[in-house]
Structure 1
Amino acid sequence: MAQPDESPDDRTGPIVEDLVLGSLIGYRLKRAYMRIQPEAQRVLAEDDLRVVSFSCLSIIADNPGIVQAELAQALQMERSNLVVIIDELEDRGLITRTKVPTDRRRYALGVTLRGHHLRDRAAQNIREAEDAVFGRLDEDDRATLIAALLRLEGRATA
């Protein structure tokens, strides 16, 4: 079996078969994620972001005025777990919180110009990391894969 720092091509032992696991979508998704996650973490760390904070920043940027409950639902997280992340993003001047006029207990979230710039740069860095890791996929393969994943989520494709 390959050591964690070896690539599959560096192995000298027998090839380990995964005939049953290899035919399972969830297993293949996990394996693909395991290939990109360390690179995504590395490039995000350059901007002092984590995957979860980048995800929050990105959803807020794409949905100005979103409230914490909607953000939690979009990211499939507990609302209480988002408090620290939202505080961190606000303290860094990346997002704003504004009281919702119709319900002063709720806050609408928005992204600052600095937050937009950081999100865009981080997204580009992740795309480049994905290109390095998943370089075997051409644009058609990527579009097909994204469309299939959206269907698995129950979302319509464009």
Structure 2
Amino acid sequence: MDMLVHGNEKVDLGGLNEAPGFMLRLAQLKVFENFFSEVGGRGLKPGEFSVLWVIRNNPGIRQSILGQSLMIKRAHMTKLIRALEDRNLLSRNIPDEDRRAVELTLTSMGKTEAEAASEWFFAYEQGVGAALSEAEREQLLALLRKFIGI
């Protein structure tokens, strides 16, 4: 059935429910909507947390590699890094051997923030897909990793 139901209204999707890209987009929007209603007031957005967390796990990572890994466009990445640096959560270093590169590390405040945020972030993520059984959730994650190439 190609129907979305909103209250008493039904919307015919005309086969869009068979389009993986469309379904992934709806899933992403649903996850973000739930994120902001449940934990959005905690100070970090999902993208900000993911950047801090990956830097935490890869101290000195080059900004370009981080952006490519998280699929963040260069211009947005520059803005995001500048904002996190302004909040004293990370520091940038330009290595002598490659003056075009930027290496990123967390400040002590950034480490503390990332660790504290990881508790509520991963607790929230455990609830994502609560309508799925544990086996279905693991299957979804395995399929997403395969789709992404992880």
Q: CA deviation at 1:103?
A: 1.9
* CA RMSD after TM alignment: 2.4
Query: 1:149 — aligned with what?
Result: 144
Match among 38, 48, 52 for residue 33 of structure 2: 38
TM-score by length of structure 2 reads 0.78
1:24: how far off?
1.9
- Number of aligned residue pairs: 145
**1:4 maps to what in 2?**
none
Stretches of structure 2 lacking an aligned partner (at least 5 in a row)? none
Identity of aligned residues (%): 30
Higher RCO (CA 8 Å, separation ≥ 6 residues):
1
- Given that 2:90 and 2:104 are in contact with CA atoms closer than 8 Å, whether structure 1 keeps it comes out as yes
- C-alpha offsets along residues 9-53 of structure 1, whole Å, 9 cap, x if unaligned? x7124x334351112222221221121102323524422x23332
Are 1:89 and 2:84 counterparts?
A: yes
Secondary structure in 2 matching 1:104: coil
Aligned partners of 1:148, 1:133: CA distance in 2, in Å? 16
* Pick aligned residue for 2:49 from 46, 54, 64: 54
Structure-1-length-normalised TM-score: 0.75
Q: Label 1:26 to 1:118 Cα distance change in 2 as closer, same or farther (>3 A).
A: same
Q: 1:106 to 1:135 in 2, by over 3 A?
A: same
Q: Gaps (5+ residues) in structure 1?
A: 1-7
